[in-house]
Amino acid sequence: MTKDSWIYTAEYAMPQDEQLARDDRRIEMLDRVLNHAYSGRAAKTGFGWMASVRVRADTVVHNIDQAAILGRKLVDDANCQVSMPLAAMVSQQIVASNVFHVQLETLSLSEKIGVAEVCGELGITRQRLHQLRQSGRFPTPDGKLLSTPLWMRSTIREFTIGWRHTPGPAPRPMDMEGLVATGSMRWE
């Protein structure tokens, strides 16, 4: 009989002016620590990093709530062990490992990106992305992993065609015939 297990995941964000340098090796060290000790993983995101651990049922952990508490402690301890910078936890989730793996297998993660990656590619904040989504001007997610919306990279590329990064009304199209008729356009 197999014991229950859960996957706990936390996402951390840093202020934009305090991002991790490209050559910072702490994410790799965190990944090794989590993988070795807890069958977990860590990865850099557009604004910080994500870390996950597997929590198994035992004499202390009997349910998902207890697993969430232990999962957070394990991730926090690993962050301290490799001296990760102070960062705000922006999301956390826990799910039964069998559900997590079924959802993971149905996605092509190399082509799908989450909120942090979308914000990084578009050069906007999470708040701005939320505003775009609420206004109906942003594409609906192509899928979800747990409660995290995911978009295909091609969907984001299509959205950026014609998208104006700056707020405000779109400029009116030029009236080429009117310009030529008035002689206000010069050709050289």
In this structure, are 82 and 62 located in the same domain? Answer: yes
Q: Are residues 18 and 65 in the same domain?
A: yes
pLDDT at 65 over 80: yes
51 and 95 housed in the same domain: yes
pLDDT recorded at residue 48: 85
The predicted structure's pLDDT at residue 177: 52
- CA distance linking residue 127 with residue 47, whole number of Å: 13
Which residues 6+ apart lie within 8 Å of 16 measured at CB?
Answer: 47
pLDDT one-digit tens code per residue, 109-147: 557 888 888 888 888 888 988 888 898 888 888 887 777
What is the share, in percent, of the chain residues with pLDDT greater than 70? 77
Query: Does residue 49 lie within any of the structural domains?
Result: yes
Instruction: Indicate if 135 and 97 belong to the same structural domain.
Output: no
* All residues at 6 or more sequence positions from 99 whose CB lies less than 8 Å from its CB, including other chains: none
Residue with tokens 């951390």: 12
Question: What DSSP assignment string belongs to 47-85?
Answer: SEEEEEEEEE--SS--SHHHHHHHHHHHHHHHHHHTTPP
Alpha helices in the chain (DSSP H): 26-38, 64-81, 97-105, 115-122, 126-135, 153-160, 176-182
Over range 76-104, report the average pLDDT.
83
Q: What is the span of the domain harbouring residue 26?
A: 5-105
Q: Considering the domain boundaries, does residue 133 fall inside one?
A: yes
